[in-house]
């Protein structure tokens, strides 16, 4: 490894280091620990939630929750097919299939709440409301009818009713976006000049 290659590697490490912790969390998967936590997660998301589930043996399945029981839940992959029963203790990972929400006409508070829960407390998100307001900040709490978030560059949190949400999803902070752009540029430079993609 020559001096330029070492410089690129060091720069990449530094850029990853300056990426805000809240943004790194945004890329983490939702991994409950233990059957009790899995059951709690499924109860929160509720019947109708479209999930991606990784089983204990590593196999992945996806579908819609059709019922929730004490020992597991039933997941229907396709309309008309018999639901598959999945035991909580056989789940390694569970997350929503779609972690964004956009209202189609009248806002759907059930879907909005589901996405808020799917992303979870601490995540950096962007929100648009029925009043035209737009917020970018971190989720602080998720309650039955609303969630609380702390907007960027503000000290006072705001409470947003799920019934007022018209658009919601994950969002990188400005620092995170800059860091990712820099990392991408450095990787491109490395590929062009040191990995043989550039002119000879």
Q: What is the pLDDT along the chain (200 residues), one digit of tens a residue?
A: 566 555 655 655 555 454 444 444 444 445 556 889 999 999 999 999 999 999 999 999 999 999 999 999 999 987 667 899 999 999 999 999 999 999 999 999 999 999 999 999 999 999 999 999 999 999 999 999 999 999 999 999 999 999 999 999 998 655 554 555 555 566 555 555 555 555 55
Task: For residue 194, give Cα distances in angstroms to 10, 11, 86, 182, 200.
Answer: 15, 15, 49, 17, 11
* Three-point CA angle 57, 59, 61, nearest 5°: 135
Contacts of 179-185 spanning 24+ positions with Cβ under 8 A:
179/15, 179/16, 179/18, 179/19, 179/20, 179/23, 180/19, 182/11, 182/15, 183/12, 183/15, 183/16
Flag whether 115 is in a domain: no
Flag whether 151 is in a domain: no
Among candidate residues 97, 126, 149, the one where a domain is terminated: 97
Question: Rounded distance, CA 62 to CA 58, Å?
Answer: 13
Flag whether 108 is in a domain: no
Flag whether 69 is in a domain: yes
**CATH number, position 79:** 2.30.30.100
Among candidate residues 78, 97, 116, the one where a domain is terminated: 97
Are residues 72 and 48 part of one domain? yes
Flag whether 150 is in a domain: no
Among candidate residues 97, 117, 140, the one where a domain is terminated: 97
State the pLDDT at residue 171: 85
Question: Rounded distance, CA 117 to CA 165, Å?
Answer: 14
Give me the residues paired with residue 164 across strands. Answer: none
Flag whether 112 is in a domain: no
Split into its structural domains, the chain has a count of: 2
Q: Are 108 and 119 in contact (CB under 8 A)?
A: no
**Domain containing residue 13:** 3-20+176-193
Which contiguous run of DSSP H or E holds residue 93?
A: strand 91-96
State the pLDDT at residue 25: 41
């Amino acid at each position: 490894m020559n001096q330029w290659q070492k410089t690129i590697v060091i720069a990449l490490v530094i850029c990853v280091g300056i990426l805000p912790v809240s943004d790194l969390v945004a890329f983490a998967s939702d991994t409950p620990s233990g059957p009790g936590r899995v059951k709690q997660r499924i109860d929160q998301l509720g019947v109708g939630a479209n999930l991606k589930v990784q089983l204990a043996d590593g196999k992945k399945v996806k579908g819609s929750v059709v019922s929730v029981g004490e020992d597991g839940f039933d997941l229907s992959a396709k309309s008309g097919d018999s639901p598959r029963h999945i035991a909580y203790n056989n789940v390694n990972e569970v997350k929503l299939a779609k972690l964004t929400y956009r209202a189609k006409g009248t806002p759907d508070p059930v879907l909005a709440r589901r996405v808020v829960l799917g992303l979870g407390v601490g995540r950096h998100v962007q929100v648009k409301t029925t009043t035209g307001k737009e917020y970018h900040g971190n989720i602080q709490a998720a309650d039955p009818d609303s969630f609380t978030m702390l907007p960027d560059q503000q000290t006072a949190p705001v409470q947003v009713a799920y019934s007022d949400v018209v658009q919601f999803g994950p969002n990188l902070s400005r620092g995170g976006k800059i860091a990712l752009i820099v990392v991408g540029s450095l990787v491109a430079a490395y590929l062009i000049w040191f990995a043989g993609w550039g002119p000879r």
